[in-house]
């Protein structure tokens, strides 16, 4: 049953294609013209046909009663073989990067510009990071992307009827095509590749040809495209694509990947290489991102194929742009795109703060601010504030031409934040730099130690620390503290020492901040030895012996 349904749909599609081709052939011999005021058979034949002498046959075919006065709005059928055919040309509309035209006589024209003409037999080639948009006689457009090549095999027009016959051969690369709707049975627009032929009558689609893979891909954005390969034809509707390999029929039409959802961009992008991100697409093997000055992307300024869902913006001049991205599936069919306008306002580029390091702490000194020299700048504006929002400004100086600034006058303890702007020669101020901040804290005071002699020993004490300060004490045998007897970090602001006789000792203490900063040592305290009374015991013993005698 499933096979029967598939076969029924296949036959339905084939019949649809046949009816379309049959419809075209049924009217291929006649061009239908709508009469406008002032028309008569003589001036009509003179304008559109090979010779004026066809007026008699036209009168008979269309049963025109008065050949001198044709009724406006009436329709005249004209056999196609009677219509005047003349050579047409194409014209370059936009050119970015490098391109060349290979002429049929073998010459190579590299001096191309908008307005350059393209004739029958010419071959157009584009260089790296380049693209060229070409307009045909019926106003159809094709954009040839980087490192692509296309040959103009047939360029003709049916006089002034608006019907144009265009046949191209995409040798390699990628193209975006916008085809004007057909104006008559003589209108034709075909693009051939080594593996397939695409025939259209008013549509918008993309085509690529990869000679190394011997395969072509087709992606229809608007209208319909008939794609033929190996004597089989498939009709592609909008939002569908196919792949054709050499010697094989086109694959069944596949639904193109939906447009990715781009993450919101800032109202103004003030940083170069700003990352643009989007939501991943199921079944996407990669993505193509493009940037253009215009919403129609007739001549993209930049394109990049990536495997991730993130791409940094290129280095572009300030201005308004359009960004678009689309997914690429396993057949290398590129899907529908999502477009996002954005404004770049990143120049002149701000300098980069160099020193001090962010959040660096200073005690007893003030930092010198240093920053890089911006190539866009002739001067700098420096702001220093006590808050990260820069609402309480202490310094706002705009006439700096050097890349350093002393902060000797900012001595009060606290947090300081700083940032910079660049000025260019016209006086325009660019975006702000990243902000940094430094902190000033006071140097801890010198502790004043006191000593108390008790039965348990000698107790030294000092004022308790503040804000989490710790203590460091040293006991030495010399006033220079080169021979340490004790080094400790007591939890309390006191220390008890045991008395020692026969040795002078030296004691000192200092505060240590929570961040490890060591304050100055307090005054050195001399601890004299306890008196040596050992001599008195022999004397007393002797005297006691004498008395006993």
CATH T-level assignment (fold) for domain 353-440: Immunoglobulin-like (2.60.40)
Q: What is the CATH number of domain 275-344?
A: 2.60.40.10
| pTM for the structure as a whole | 0.73
pLDDT at position 3 is 34
- CA-based angle 404:407:413, to the nearest 5? 145
Say how far apart CA 359 and CA 470 lie, in whole Å: 22
Has domain 450-527 been given CATH number 2.60.40.10? yes
pLDDT at position 31 is 86
pLDDT at position 456 is 76
Q: What is the CATH number of domain 86-255?
A: 2.60.120.1440
pLDDT at position 5 is 40
pLDDT at position 12 is 37
Q: Where in the chain is the domain with CATH 2.60.40.10?
A: 275-344, 353-440, 450-527
Q: What is the DSSP letter of 115?
A: T
Enumerate long-range contacts of 219-224, CB under 8 Å, 24 or more apart: 219/256, 219/333, 219/334, 219/335, 221/336, 223/179, 224/200
Beta-bridge partner residues of 339:
324
pLDDT at position 186 is 83
Q: What is the CATH number of domain 2-82?
A: 3.10.350.10
The pLDDT tens digits along the chain (549 residues) read 333 343 433 333 443 444 343 333 434 478 888 999 999 999 998 888 988 888 999 999 999 989 888 989 999 999 988 988 899 999 999 999 999 999 999 999 999 999 999 999 999 999 999 999 999 999 999 999 999 999 999 999 988 888 899 999 999 999 999 999 987 888 889 999 999 999 887 799 999 999 999 999 999 999 999 999 999 999 999 999 999 999 999 999 999 999 999 999 999 999 989 999 999 999 999 999 999 999 999 999 999 999 999 999 999 999 999 999 999 999 999 999 999 999 999 999 999 999 999 999 999 899 999 999 998 899 999 999 999 999 999 999 998 999 999 999 999 999 999 999 999 999 999 999 999 999 999 999 999 999 998 777 899 999 999 989 999 999 999 999 999 999 999 999 999 998 888 899 999 999 999 989 999 999 999 998 877 555 555 656 656 666 666
Give how far the C-alpha of residue 293 lies from the chain's centroid of Cα atoms, to the nearest Å: 14
Q: What is the 3-state secondary structure (H, E, C) of 231-293?
A: CEEEEECCCEEEEEECCCCCCCCEECCCCCCECCCCCCECCCCCEEEECCCCCCCEEEEEEEC
Among 334, 266, 340, 331, smallest CA distance to 305 is for: 334
Q: Where in the chain is the domain with CATH 3.10.350.10?
A: 2-82
pLDDT at position 532 is 59
């Amino acid at each position: 049953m499933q096979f029967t349904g598939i076969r029924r749909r296949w036959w339905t599609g084939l019949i649809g294609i046949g009816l379309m081709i049959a419809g075209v052939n049924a009217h291929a011999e006649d061009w239908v013209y709508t009469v406008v005021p002032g028309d008569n058979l003589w001036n009509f034949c003179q304008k559109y046909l090979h010779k004026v002498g066809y007026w008699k046959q036209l009168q008979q075919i269309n049963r025109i009663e008065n050949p001198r006065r044709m009724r406006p709005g009436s329709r005249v059928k004209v056999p196609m073989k009677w219509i005047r055919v003349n050579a047409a040309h194409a014209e370059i509309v936009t050119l970015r990067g490098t391109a060349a035209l290979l002429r049929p006589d073998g010459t190579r024209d590299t001096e191309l510009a908008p307005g350059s003409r393209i004739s029958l037999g010419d071959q157009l080639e584009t260089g790296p990071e380049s693209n060229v948009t070409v307009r045909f006689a019926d106003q159809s457009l094709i954009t040839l992307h980087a490192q692509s090549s296309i040959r103009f095999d047939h360029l003709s027009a049916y006089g002034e009827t608006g019907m144009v016959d265009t046949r191209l051969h995409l040798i390699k690369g990628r193209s975006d095509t916008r085809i004007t709707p057909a104006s008559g049975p003589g209108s034709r627009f075909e693009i051939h590749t080594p593996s397939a032929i695409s025939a259209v009558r008013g549509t918008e689609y993309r085509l690529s040809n990869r000679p190394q893979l011997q395969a072509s891909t087709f992606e229809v954005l608007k209208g319909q495209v008939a794609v033929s390969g190996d004597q089989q034809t498939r009709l592609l509707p909008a939002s569908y694509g196919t792949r054709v390999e050499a010697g094989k029929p086109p694959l069944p039409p596949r639904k193109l990947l939906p447009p990715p959802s781009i993450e919101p961009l800032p109202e103004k992008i003030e940083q170069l290489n700003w990352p643009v991100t989007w939501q991943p697409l199921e079944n996407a093997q990669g993505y193509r991102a493009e940037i253009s000055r215009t919403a129609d992307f007739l001549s993209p300024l930049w394109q990049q194929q990536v495997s991730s869902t993130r791409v940094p913006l290129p280095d572009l001049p300030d201005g308004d742009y359009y960004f678009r991205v689309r997914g690429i599936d396993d057949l290398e069919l590129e899907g529908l795109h999502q477009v996002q306008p954005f404004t770049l306002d990143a120049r002149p580029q701000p300098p980069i703060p160099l020193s001090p390091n962010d959040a660096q702490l200073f005690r007893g000194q003030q930092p010198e601010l240093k920053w890089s020299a911006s190539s866009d700048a002739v001067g700098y504006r420096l702001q220093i504030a006590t808050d990260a929002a820069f609402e309480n400004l202490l310094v706002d100086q705009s006439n700096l031409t050097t890349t350093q600034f002393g902060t000797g006058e900012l001595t009060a303890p606290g947090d300081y934040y700083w940032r910079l702007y660049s000025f260019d020669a016209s006086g325009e101020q660019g975006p702000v730099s990243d902000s940094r901040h430094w902190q000033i804290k006071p140097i801890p005071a010198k502790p004043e130690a006191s000593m108390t002699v008790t039965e348990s020993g000698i107790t030294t004490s000092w004022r308790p620390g503040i804000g989490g300060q710790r203590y460091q004490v040293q006991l030495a045998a010399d006033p220079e503290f080169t021979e340490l007897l004790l080094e400790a970090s007591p939890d309390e602001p006191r220390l008890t020492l045991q008395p020692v006789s026969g040795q002078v000792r030296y004691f000192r203490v200092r505060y240590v901040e929570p961040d490890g900063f060591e304050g100055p040592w307090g005054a050195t305290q001399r601890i004299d030895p306890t008196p040596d009374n050992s001599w008195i015991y022999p004397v007393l013993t002797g005297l006691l012996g004498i008395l006993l005698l």
